[in-house]
Structure 1
Amino acid sequence: MKKKLILLLLLQITSQIHAQESENLELNETVVETTRIPEIVKNSSSSVIVVSKETIESLAMSNPDMSVILGLAVPSIGLSSNTTSNRSQTMRGRQMLIMIDGIPQSTPLRNTDRDIRSISPFAIERIEVIEGASSLYGSGAIGGVVNFVTKKNNTDRLFNGETSIGITDARFKQGDHAFGYKLNQQFYGKVNKFDYLVNGGIVTTGRGVDGERKFISPRYGLSDVMAKSIMAKVGYNFSTNTRIEAMYNYFSSEQDTDLIAAEGKYLQSPRIGIVGEKDVRAVNEGTRYNHNAYVKFISKDIFKNTNLDLSLYTQNLYTIFDYRANNPRSPRWEETGGQAAIKAEKYGARLNFLSALNLSKDIKMSVLYGGDFMLDETSQPLVDGRLWVPKLKAYNSAVFLQTVTNFYHKFSLKAGVRYDNILVKVPNYKTIPTRANQEWVSIEGGNLSYEKPTFNTLLQYHVAKEFNPYVSFSQGFAIFDLGRVLRTANADVVSKIETDPVATTNYEVGFTSKIAKKINLKFAYYWSHSKLGSDLAAGDDGFWKVVRNPQLIQGLEVQADTKINKYVFVGGSYSYLEGKLKSEGSSTYDDYMSGLSIPAPKLTLFTTITPVDNFTVNLMYTHTQERNRFHPVLNNSGNLVYKEGEGKVSPIDLFNLSSNYKMNNMRISLGIENLFNKTYYTSSSMLMARNNEYARGNGRYYTLGFTVNY
């Protein structure tokens, strides 16, 4: 206990971890491109966050899972579920659009809930985050945008390389099989006008163990998982103004374990893993492959004061979920067991023109205009061949106009409009009945059309470094998992099924501040409402249903950091939000939104200590508060139980430690996840309120790494 109190005294000021940068490079000078008009972060005014490569590497020392890294690094994103699913990991209480170099990873026609875990952290240069509804990229960004920006060559040398190895263990004990390893190899360089970077790696985990050294349930689990990745990027500069670039990224993550799930009683005992034999019909779950590629042509001054950026991209994804044995009390798939999968393909093009207009000496404007097109094909088959969701085809097209105007170096005005048109083609199909003696229901397909203009505007006043207030308005919309609705449809015609998209309107006020040249402070208060909600609730047949009741979300975020002296840098962040909806027939927001959307308040504190040259220690403390908004209700058996998604979420306190020592071109690192080996249940397992998902988080894990550059 004394150790914890001493550590807490070191963590004195709230801030964002992504402010951890080297002494000669301030994060505020980073140019962010996810805003579509490249700009320096400190001038972006809205809630734009950049998670640097240094921060990613520091967090990955203790846990390389991208959902863990995002949950710790971004105040508005909930903590990881410690599973393969990011279903409840929302941004500001709503769905976020995940991208790799601008390529959408989300599958709105049938959501995989796996889009965060779509890339290796060792392939990422930085993560750019736009918090709050965004109309910049179209459907899916009702909570915000996360863009994983892949690495690229940044030297003029012919050949460079980096080799990293690491070992991970929970107990350093023979026979528990909790051992894992990491291998990553990178080559990069430049030959005349040609530059290249190739990165490949393997990350394996052993059996997951909690603080009491019990094996964690393998359901949707990260036990015995092997993740493989390859990323290649090449570019050719025709001139200083003209460049062509190509990127390919492959990622897979597959679980092959001898653990099976056992026990588990909500609020009493955890679901654990025991050594056993799984069903002979079950195949290994996980993302078998996720291919992303683009070809990009960039031309500066293609005509007067105008730059061109043309991208062609594709994505191909195949994910397999866990095997479900038949449950006689709640049967599915003709009273048989089965294993669902999702297959998705995307082909897209993005055309940007960026023009600079100097309206006068003191009024300067940047204008972005162009169009997006994407073909999205998604289906959900069972592994045995039966088709649960037919192949849906969505034709997405949009035109957009975005402007940024600076007045007298005092005011910045952003304004934009985007018009999206989405046509979804649904073929004739049949739904799989739950009972063996039932006929398959025939559904007549058809076309579903969505048209939506969305607007955004933001005004910032540059009073002084000490105070830069802003106010913003933005809209977003999303198709809310169409396949989930279609696969259990009772209507005979698609046009009779309620499929209206979710549209949100977001307002935000806040300010940024730099005090005494050393204290950075940021504050934001926001509120977001939608006429149609997107919460999920469990239906009587055991399948999730979409709750369309109107929603209102309000929240605030505070971030700060400061460099105390040349040895110590401290900071952290605090995020609070609450969401309510209108119950049936109500004219007011009188009921709370479930934990699937609204996370518990989160506090993050950190300190970075450099006691001697080339030696750095990072200590991070994460605290989530209680969220207990619901009461148990009587189930069919007459027992009081919580509804799924409405469970009681208790507080969590976790410490993570990472350190590294540099020697010339070598670096030795040590990461410790859950430093004090706390036994706890993940927020996701608590809010789900289901015996099968009531699982604990990781106990103490050690990761020792070695990196050499040449």
Structure 2
Amino acid sequence: MLKTSLCLIAVAISTNTLANENNKNEYTSDQLEHVIVSGSRISENIDEVPASITVINQQQIQQHLKVSSELGSLLAQMVPGLAPNTGSSSNSGQTLRGRAPLIMIDGVPQSTPLRNGSLGVKTLDASAIARIEVIKGATSIYGNGASGGIINYITKQARSDGKPEGEISISSRFSAVKLAESGGGRIAAAVNGKLDKLSYLLTASYEENGVQRDAEGDILGLQYGLSDSETQNYFTKLTYDFDDEKQLQFSYNFYSSQQKTDLGDVTGDGNIGEKTYAIHVPLELQKQGKPQGPEGNENITLKYVDYALFENTQMTLDLYKQNIENVFFFSTALANLDEGYSGGQSVIKSDKQGARAIFNSQFDFENVTATLIYGIDALNDKTSQPLVDGRVWVPEMDMESVAGFLQTKWVIHDDIIVKAGVRNESIDLSVSDYQTLKLCKTVSQCSVPLNVRGDTINYDATTYNAGIKYNLTDAFSPFFSYSQGSDISDIGRLLRAATVDDIALIQTQASIIDNYEVGFTSQFENVRFEFALYRSTSELGTSNEYNEVTGVYEPVRAPQEIWGYEGLVNYTITEDLKLSATYSYVEGKNTEADDYLGASQISPPKATANVTWQTNDELSLAMSFLYVGDRKRFDKNAQGQYSGDQGPVSSYNTFNLSGQYNVNAKWSGYFGIENLFNSDYYPARAQAYTYGGYNIKGLGTTATLGAKYQF
């Protein structure tokens, strides 16, 4: 904790010696759609950002909530460059431009990059989110884990200036293919108000799923499944305004989502087209172990903002604490029959404590406005992956990091934007002596446990970014950007598969990602276009290779190159009828072996379309379309089968429909239909992942009916 303590002292000193931005900004709801905070850690207009940005606004979130509360499917529908939804509680394989994104709530990291379990997307209920900001491409501005970019959930603020305001919604969700046992329910409530200088917001949601059925009426397989799942989220935000310039904010978030079922899997073989599905089975054949999913993750944040620390400077200080326990499914791959273990169940545990000081100073010169964002970040992250039965699979990793950063923005003649920044990060990662776990695929096919000597590994990285955007005309605004990210993510995977007896000899080096992007935006009277080409390279990537002797997938670190393009069009057909459409393509290779990267990183081409129609003051409708294309890059192995994450992906498409009818100013009813035409398909990940139990079909036609009361 030495580094963290030193940084906390530095933060305290900084409050007396450093600075931040001028006046407190007020934005209308329309303006908020064009404002982001994630890219530079301050509020700025999208038109002044030389990079690809996606903002999912409140209306889009509410429309999707009528169909599904799963944020993974919302992000897949709205974000070009993000891989298709997995149809499960895990976002494994749902990469952003071929690399892992960092999931955040109000800038606080939710991912567990030291042992990435790919569960970060499910950390907050959609009803607590005001908007979602997605910054694409490697960035180090928030530290470790953002090799693919940032997905930042911006939570709601209190809106009422006086008496309490709020809403309550209740809905039921069920299979339209086969109703039996599929009925589920959801209730969500929110209240906000203001008492003198104190404003408050409280949201709560509880959702219980019935069984989920595919297009043939069969229950979806249970691995990372959502059948019989129970999800609850409680979020509160308290804000105290000392005056017009000084504000103290406290927020707390509790999130739990676990599958509690008496079903069991009938495991099929994806190589011969057999799906995995679930049925009622005797107790001894039911899913073993604890319920899988986040067991009760908590976040606490305390933030102080002075909007006018000096005449031209704003200051933000925050402290945060986080506790995460993500429980995984029982797996026979964690067996050791010699010691009496027929399998095992792992838990990723992560405890984070952080402190940050951010300052934003603005200076006006003749024809030039300069903005400087600078500060200090400190983080202590303790992450491990033990088994529920007490065995240690991944030992505790104790990471302490301190980073200083400077980001500059220069607006020249109101139409040329130049950005440049630097971040220097120092990381100490400590691991005690440990022994790798003996795992047996069969009685005779076992890995050999190895005693590994612990150590403290030091990482020091300086990363840079630069970009330029020229708002030449509304019809053509080109940009170019270069950004670097420093990534030591998923060290836990390397530790658990160690093949040397000293941690210092394991290939735990940080990976530096270089990201290049060029694109443009075009705005005409009723149409907006966005287009970007990108390329990212890294000298060390993390992929997996199957060891035929031990039956274990082991990490392979090799140089990688990922490239692609994406486009978006928004068309306001009439004031009441709007269309948005996207297309994205990504590809990547291990450049050392000249081999294509598998589906854990690279997704097939994706196209989406969304239409909204406000038919009159009472009725609104929305239709969404998702197309996933082919990706068939790999050959079968010597046994005539596809292996790892290299299965062929065949194209499919789905439609969703939703609508709302406003009875009066307070009451409204709504409906949503997921997979409207009952498309019978395997999601992209289910096709590409040949690991046991992943070959689960997509959700069949599923309907939601609900009502909302506002006061």
TM-score over 0.5 (shorter chain): yes
Q: Assess, with a 3 A threshold, how the Cα gap between structure 1 residues 333 and 79 changes in structure 2: closer, same or farther.
A: farther
Partner residue of 1:351 out of 339, 353, 357: 357
Partner of residue 235, structure 2: 231
Alignment of 1:337-348 (within 5 A): 337-348=343-354
Partner of residue 587, structure 1: none
State the one-letter code of the partner of 2:395. Answer: P
Q: Is residue 186 of structure 1 aligned with residue 187 of structure 2?
A: no
State the one-letter code of the partner of 1:289. Answer: G
**Residue pair 1:314, 1:346 contacting (<8 A) in 2 also:** yes
Partner residue of 2:289 out of 275, 282, 296: 282
Summarize deviations over 1:140-199 as a string: whole Å, max 9, x none: 11110011111110220221121010000003866x211111101111101111100000
Partner residue of 2:223 out of 213, 216, 219: 219
State the one-letter code of the partner of 2:527. Answer: I
Q: Assess, with a 3 A threshold, how the Cα gap between structure 1 residues 375 and 82 changes in structure 2: closer, same or farther.
A: same
Partner of residue 134, structure 1: 139
Paired residue secondary structure (1:283): coil
**Cα distance in structure 2, aligned partners of 1:228 and 1:647:** 35
Alignment of 1:440-451 (within 5 A): 441-451=450-460
**Residue pair 2:605, 2:628 contacting (<8 A) in 1 also:** yes
**Cα distance in structure 1, aligned partners of 2:90 and 2:280:** 23
Partner residue of 2:414 out of 409, 414, 429: 409
Partner of residue 331, structure 2: 324
Summarize deviations over 1:595-624 as a string: whole Å, max 9, x none: 111100100012111221231111011101
State the one-letter code of the partner of 1:605. Answer: A
Summarize deviations over 1:77-124 as a string: whole Å, max 9, x none: 111211221110000000111111111111122112101111111111
State the one-letter code of the partner of 1:455. Answer: Y
Partner of residue 677, structure 1: 678
TM-score by length of 1: 0.92
Cα distance, 1:280 vs structure 2: 8.3
Alignment of 1:51-200 (within 5 A): 51-171=56-176, 176-200=180-204
Partner of residue 3, structure 1: none
Summarize deviations over 1:524-576 as a string: whole Å, max 9, x none: 11111111112233333333322212111111111011111133111210001
Partner of residue 421, structure 1: 426
State the one-letter code of the partner of 2:92. Answer: R
**Residue pair 2:276, 2:696 contacting (<8 A) in 1 also:** yes
**Residue pair 1:560, 1:572 contacting (<8 A) in 2 also:** yes
Partner of residue 452, structure 1: 461
Partner of residue 587, structure 2: 578
**Cα distance in structure 2, aligned partners of 1:378 and 1:675:** 42
Paired residue secondary structure (2:83): coil
Partner of residue 18, structure 1: none
Summarize deviations over 1:396-446 as a string: whole Å, max 9, x none: 110000011111112100110001111101011122223699985322111
Q: Assess, with a 3 A threshold, how the Cα gap between structure 1 residues 334 and 448 changes in structure 2: closer, same or farther.
A: farther
Paired residue secondary structure (2:72): helix
Partner of residue 703, structure 2: 702
Partner residue of 1:521 out of 516, 521, 529: 529
When structure 1 is superposed on structure 2, of 392-401 and 261-270 the one drifting more is 261-270
Partner residue of 2:244 out of 229, 236, 240: 240
Partner of residue 655, structure 2: 655
State the one-letter code of the partner of 2:342. Answer: T
**Residue pair 1:334, 1:433 contacting (<8 A) in 2 also:** no
**Cα distance in structure 2, aligned partners of 1:427 and 1:554:** 39
**Cα distance in structure 2, aligned partners of 1:624 and 1:280:** 31
**Residue pair 1:28, 1:42 contacting (<8 A) in 2 also:** no
Alignment of 1:461-480 (within 5 A): 461-480=470-489
Partner of residue 9, structure 2: none
Alignment of 1:586-601 (within 5 A): 590-601=594-605
**Cα distance in structure 2, aligned partners of 1:463 and 1:421:** 40
Cα distance, 1:369 vs structure 2: 0.6
Q: Assess, with a 3 A threshold, how the Cα gap between structure 1 residues 28 and 325 changes in structure 2: closer, same or farther.
A: closer
Partner of residue 11, structure 1: none
TM-score by length of 2: 0.92
Paired residue secondary structure (1:25): helix
Q: Assess, with a 3 A threshold, how the Cα gap between structure 1 residues 553 and 326 changes in structure 2: closer, same or farther.
A: closer
Paired residue secondary structure (1:253): strand
Cα distance, 1:497 vs structure 2: 1.1
Summarize deviations over 1:435-465 as a string: whole Å, max 9, x none: 6999853221111111111111110111111
Partner residue of 2:276 out of 255, 271, 276: 271
RMSD: 2.0
**Cα distance in structure 1, aligned partners of 2:106 and 2:264:** 37
Partner residue of 1:534 out of 542, 550, 559: 542
Cα distance, 1:33 vs structure 2: 4.3
State the one-letter code of the partner of 1:343. Answer: K
Gaps of 5+ in 1: 1-22, 585-589
**Residue pair 1:326, 1:335 contacting (<8 A) in 2 also:** no
Partner of residue 18, structure 2: none
**Cα distance in structure 1, aligned partners of 2:430 and 2:477:** 47
**Residue pair 1:333, 1:433 contacting (<8 A) in 2 also:** no
**Residue pair 1:555, 1:576 contacting (<8 A) in 2 also:** yes
